[in-house]
Structures are given as structure tokens and as C-alpha cells.
Structure 1
Amino acid sequence: MIELAKVSTTIFAPVAVVFDYVTNMENYGEWFPGVMAIRSGNNLPHATVGKTYLETLQLPGGEHELSIDVVQSEAPRLFLTQGDLEGILPQMTMRFSEEQEGACTFDLQYHSRDSSLSEESEIITALRKDLAERAVVALVNLKNKF
């Protein structure tokens, strides 16, 4: 896998509260820039392995639609999704920890799972720049939610 972005912040709210909010991916568009729309793709509860979402995402080059699957969820510590966007095959990893009482350390990472890409691929270079900028804004937005 190729790392695309990695950011971290402290949110002054209990870990379980932050986990519940961000793992309901229908909230993703409220805090992550460029998410045009996102909705549940099945009736499983949020933060459940097998839950799917349908997302419309603005990327360099235009809007893209993708399906996102929850592939790992360990409340309230870890949440991992994988998308089917061809040419990138994105993976998002969220980690939650309590460094001090009432505060959540939130780590957010994005990777490409597409084995045909290399670190030097044009799309990787463009995505790294774009996602790094968006991820910083996303953490500010997320902190403001709490």
C-alpha cells in the first residue's frame, strides 16, 4: 500500500463519543471537504464490518462515485474502510485513543491499495497534495464539531 495522507489531532471529547460520530460515515461530508454526498448502502448498523456506503467525492479531475465497505471496526479504538474507486482503491484508517481523561487522540490515514501504482505515479503525487490539504481542514472541522 502507498500512504497518501496521515494527520492527527486531539479532540476534547470522550473517545466513545468521537468514535460514534466519525464511524457513522453519513456524517463524513459534514467534516471532510470534497465529500459531495454519502449515504448508507445497506441496513447494517454504523461501525459494523460489512456496512457499506455510497459516496460522491470531488477529486482533481472531477466528481467520482464509489462504494465504501467497513472492513474492520473495533469500538472505540479502530475503524478501517476500503473503497472501490478504480485507479486508486482507497483505504481509510481511523485510530482513537485516550491520552488524557475526556480527550481523544484521533489519527487519520489514507492509503492506495492499487498495486499497479508506484510512489512516483502522477496520480499518487496529485492525491498526496490534495488529500494532505483536505485532511488538515477536515481535522479543524471535526474539532469544531465538538
Structure 2
Amino acid sequence: MDAIDRRIILALQQDGRLSNVDLAVRVGLSPSPCLRRVKLLEERGIITGYQAVIDRHAINLSLTVFVEITVARHSRQNAALVGQSLSSIPGLVACHMVSGDADFLAEIVVADLSSYERLLTEHILTIEAVEQIRSNFSLRPITTSLPLTLPSA
């Protein structure tokens, strides 16, 4: 990936609906080479898709909770059980198996605190292999795109 590819990716992360002509202008290419580069980035699996970014507040999912989950009696089976159970939780945005104090870190969106309490008691606390849960509430997001640094010119 060179500097032009990075500029293409950064521009598409900011606005995935850019026309090829507008994208080409932003990155300093003519439209044909720009389109070829985008197609190559897609073929190489660097760009894996395009999606709409939804305003969570507009659809009444105003509370983002990061839930740290520790698995009881560490084993492959318990980790698989927790991972599979977490993947079916309503409002789950992302979930990662992590190292450190917790074993899983789940990002969950809900309408409000009482909705989170309901989700916690009805879904997360019912997973047998869960030993400990710690909830962290987001005050506001800081960034929403991958930090691709451009080399100095």
C-alpha cells in the first residue's frame, strides 16, 4: 500500500458514498487509475465492504456499554460457550477475546440504563461460564475510522 492507497482509504472511511470522480479529485488522480486502485484494494481484501453509519441516538440506542467478561474455570469449552452466547446478544456491536484482567470485551448499545440492566440480567448473567462482569459506560466516542498514517512527503 502506498500513500495514494492510504489517501483513498482515508477518504472512503470519511465518506463511503464518494463518487469515483470526487474520490479521484481528493486523492490527486484521474478517475480511471483511481477506480483501478479501489478495485485492487477490494480484490486484495483491504476494503471489505461499504456500509451506512447510523446515528445511534436517532434510533434510540443512546447508551454504549463496554462489558468486560471473565470466564470461570478457563477452558476452550467455556471460552467457546461464552463467545457463542455473547454473539447472540441483542445490541452487540463488537466483541473481542482479549488478554488482561478480562477474557472478553463486548461493545453493546442500548436505549438507556434500564435497558442495559434488562439485557445484563436476561442475557449476560445467564451464561453459565461467566465468572465476573465489569461494565464501562461510554461518555462519547472519540474516533470512528482506522488511523492510517500517511508517510511524510
User: TM-score over 0.5 for the alignment?
Assistant: no
- The structure with more helix, counted as a fraction of residues: 2
Greater relative contact order, per chain length (Cα 8 Å cut-off, separation 6+): 1
- The structure with more strand, counted as a fraction of residues: 1
